[in-house]
Structures are given as structure tokens and as C-alpha cells.
Amino acid sequence: MLTMEEAQMLLTQKVEEIIQTEKVSLFDALGRKLAEDIIAVRDQPPFPRSPLDGYALRGEDTTGASHDTPVTLKVIGKVYAGSVYEGTVKKGEAVRLMTGAPIPDGADTVIRQEDTDLGGDTVSVYRELRPYQNYCYQGEDYQAGSILVKKGRTLHAGIITVIASLGKTEVEVFKRPRIALLSTGDEVLLPEAEWKPGKIYDTNRAYIGSRLMELQNPPVFSEHISDEGSVVAEEIRRIAPVTDLIITTGGVSVGEKDIMHEVVDILGAKQLFWKVRVKPGSPTLAFIWEGTLVLCLSGNPFGAIANFELLGRPVLYALTGQEKWKLRTQQAKLQNDFIKPAGGRRFLRGWLEDGKVYLNGKNQASGAILAMADCNCLIEITPDMAGAKAGECVQVYML
């Protein structure tokens, strides 16, 4: 039987990072991966800019200015942010201007209005200024032609802001992996369907579908399918050409209804592996059909959940190269005992907060669902731990 790490390696070797791109509107690009270098089309600021409200003037005109010995200049015009003063400021002249306005030609500094008599036709200046004091140079933030954001970055609000500063409203991003989700099992009811004895509602698609949405990659297909090998095989034939990864749940164990083995045979697919040395969900199966990876998880709720996180996410990481899919682990101090012998490598549902991890007090059985309500990480119990005691340091895998 493979270790989890061996299974991860086999899976991730079988997929390639997606190189197809598409243009999307800027706000839709949040969380997506940038597929172009963002290049400045002009300088920023696009002109020498006033950082404050006051008067643009020539620094040399202020020599010796103080409150007691003010220098008086002729006010030749006024300019607000968004406008341009077309003339040139000469010796003995000043232009009234507001924060964000372009500094007119000839002027090399701006005195803030608090250091003047506020002015009118003339303005009295109470302070000496050096040239280029209070002066935002054209291009001091970035220069035309420079690369502002490199291809490959994941777009967050800050990067969106930089792109918006160019006036762009669309951006080229890498396409998202196309993921299909198929739940199997004749005991599984569709949501809202009338409950009948022997039946349970579909939770596996709810979990994996929500996780894909949380990580901004909603599934392109999400369906429940009957427990017939031929039907499942036909569906995989139909959707494989337009998906990058198919995740199924159920039918992977050794019972008569464990149809995924039959599916592999019907398709004549290449099995990558069957069974991974972890609990829950050890009978995970993986195969390739016509180049598309099919990851078949246990139908047991926590088996499907844990192995989507432990085996599915690394595949998504390989497909996208985006950090958000990477498994993040950390050490944490366990706050409760787990008395059941591990009997192999086992994952439990936990809640991590401030470096402490609480073993979810709920039923931890792989068929149990309620424990998911208070689960933000998986706690790893290794075979040598023979259970786990409060105070022990454990490795947790963040959801």
C-alpha cells in the first residue's frame, strides 16, 4: 500500500500546470492567477504633482523668508487637481494649487498654505523652501515601460489597485482547472428529495463543492450518478475531454457495489493506485483515462473529506501553481486525549486556535458528519503515537 506522500507524488506527476489563458474583467480576476506582465503605459504620477494645498513657486524666491520677513509673490493663476496651468511660473510669481494638481512649469516647489497669508492677488510666504521640497516627481511611483506586476502572481486587492491605476478594466489570467464532481451510491438522496428508509442525503458533493467554491474554483460539473459501473464509465467518457480532474466519491472498497474497479475495466483505463495507508478513506483509487486524472475517494463522509484535502488539493496545486491549494501544516499542542489506538496513520477532525488544537469532541467515526461543524484542520496521529495525549505536539493540516 502506498504512503500518502507516494500517492501525492503519483497524482501530481500526472497533471500539468494549466497554460491556457482568458481575459476577465478586473474584479472577476480577484484570486485568479495573472497570465500577463502588467506594464506601465505612462509614468505615475503622470506629471509632477503637488502633495499639498498651497502655492507652486521657485524655491530660490523664498530665500530668507520667515514670519517676520515674509517674501511676497504675485499670484498668476490657480489650478485644481484634474486641471493644468498652461503658463510658466517665473521669478517672483506663484500659482495657487490644490493637492494632486500638476505643478506648473517653472515652479520647483510647493509651499503649504499654512505657511502663507493664504494669499489673493499676491501671497506672502513665511518660510524658506529648497527646490524640489514638497514636490512629487513625475514617475516617482513607477515609470512608463516598467513591469509593475509579474505574470504568475495571484491577484489580490492591492494588485487590482495597481492595475486599476493604468485605467485597465480587463486582465489576462490563467484558466481555472475544470473539475467534475461525481458522487455515487444508491443510498444517496438528492437535496430536498423526500427521505426514505435506508437513504441518506448527499454530503460529499456539498463538502467538496463548497471547498472548491471557497477556494474560488467552483466545479464545472457536480452530479450524483447511479451505482452502475457502465453508467459511471459512460459519464467519465463524456466529461473527461472537457475536464482537468474528475473526483468521484463512493464505490472504491471491496464490496459488490464497489463499482469503480469495474469502471476502470470498462474504460480500459490505467490504474495509478488503489489504497493509501491512511485512515479514514484508505481505499482511495486513482486512474487516468485519455489523459484525464480520475481521483476516486471513499464514499464515507470523512473519508471523502480528508482525502479531498490530503490528495485532491495537491493535484489542484499542481494544476494551478497557486499557494492557496498547497497543504499547509503546522505543529500544535493537542488539548484533549484521543484514546482509540491509531492502528496506522490516522487523521482526526480538530479545531486550531492560537497554536492549540482541540480534538473535536464529536463522533470521529469516518461515517460521522456533525464533527465537520467544528473542524478547521486535520490532526495527524502517527502509528507510533498509539493514540494521543493532551499536551503532545501534533502536526495539523489546515483546511
Question: Under the criterion CB under 8 A, does residue 134 sit at the interface with its own copies?
Answer: no
Question: Under the criterion CB under 8 A, does residue 100 sit at the interface with its own copies?
Answer: yes
Question: Under the criterion CB under 8 A, does residue 193 sit at the interface with its own copies?
Answer: yes
Are 145 and 44 within 8 A, CB to CB? no
Q: Which lies closer to its own copies via its Cβ, residue 113 or residue 335? A: 113
Give, as ranges, the residues between 302 and 331 that touch its own copies (CB under 8 A): 305
Q: How far is the CB of 11 from its own copies (least distance, A)?
A: 21
Alpha carbon distance 80, 172 (integer Å): 36
Question: Under the criterion CB under 8 A, does residue 339 sit at the interface with its own copies?
Answer: no
- Give the amino acid at 390: A
**Which residues are paired to 233 by β-bridges?**
none
- The three cell numbers locating residue 349: 477532525
Q: Which lies closer to its own copies via its Cβ, residue 370 or residue 386? A: 370
Alpha carbon distance 344, 1 (integer Å): 12
Site string for its own copies, 359-388 (x = CB under 8 A): ---xx-x-xxxx-xxxxx------------
Q: Which residue blocks in 157-241 are alpha helix, DSSP H?
A: 157-164, 204-214, 229-239
Q: How far is the CB of 98 from its own copies (least distance, A)?
A: 4
Alpha carbon distance 56, 49 (integer Å): 10
Q: How far is the CB of 385 from its own copies (least distance, A)?
A: 23
Give CA 25 to chain center in angstroms: 17
Question: Under the criterion CB under 8 A, does residue 232 sit at the interface with its own copies?
Answer: no
Residues 157, 207, 350, 388, CA torsion sign: negative
Q: How far is the CB of 264 from its own copies (least distance, A)?
A: 19
Question: Under the criterion CB under 8 A, does residue 229 sit at the interface with its own copies?
Answer: no
Alpha carbon distance 328, 208 (integer Å): 18
Q: How far is the CB of 295 from its own copies (least distance, A)?
A: 18
Question: Under the criterion CB under 8 A, does residue 99 sit at the interface with its own copies?
Answer: yes
Alpha carbon distance 216, 194 (integer Å): 31
- Pick from 390, 350, 295, 381: nearest CA to 8: 295
Q: How far is the CB of 323 from its own copies (least distance, A)?
A: 11
Angle at 104 between CA 98 and CA 110, to 5 degrees: 50
Count CB atoms within 10 A of the CB of residue 19: 8
Angle at 130 between CA 125 and CA 133, to 5 degrees: 95
Contacts of 13 (CB under 8 A, 6+ apart): none
Q: Which lies closer to its own copies via its Cβ, residue 12 or residue 226? A: 226
Alpha carbon distance 305, 387 (integer Å): 21
Question: Under the criterion CB under 8 A, does residue 207 sit at the interface with its own copies?
Answer: yes
Question: Under the criterion CB under 8 A, does residue 192 sit at the interface with its own copies?
Answer: yes
Q: Which lies closer to its own copies via its Cβ, residue 91 or residue 150? A: 150
Q: How far is the CB of 28 from its own copies (least distance, A)?
A: 9
Residue from 19, 157, 354, 355 in contact with its own copies (CB under 8 A): 157
Q: Which lies closer to its own copies via its Cβ, residue 99 or residue 335? A: 99
Give, as ranges, the residues between 21 and 60 that touch its own copies (CB under 8 A): 26-27, 30-31, 42, 44-47, 49, 51, 53
Question: Under the criterion CB under 8 A, does residue 203 sit at the interface with its own copies?
Answer: yes
Residue from 3, 161, 329, 330 in contact with its own copies (CB under 8 A): 161
Alpha carbon distance 354, 19 (integer Å): 39
Q: Which lies closer to its own copies via its Cβ, residue 16 or residue 353? A: 353
Give, as ranges, the residues between 241 and 300 that touch its own copies (CB under 8 A): 253-258, 299-300
Question: Under the criterion CB under 8 A, does residue 206 sit at the interface with its own copies?
Answer: yes
Question: Under the criterion CB under 8 A, does residue 68 sit at the interface with its own copies?
Answer: no
- Give the amino acid at 62: T
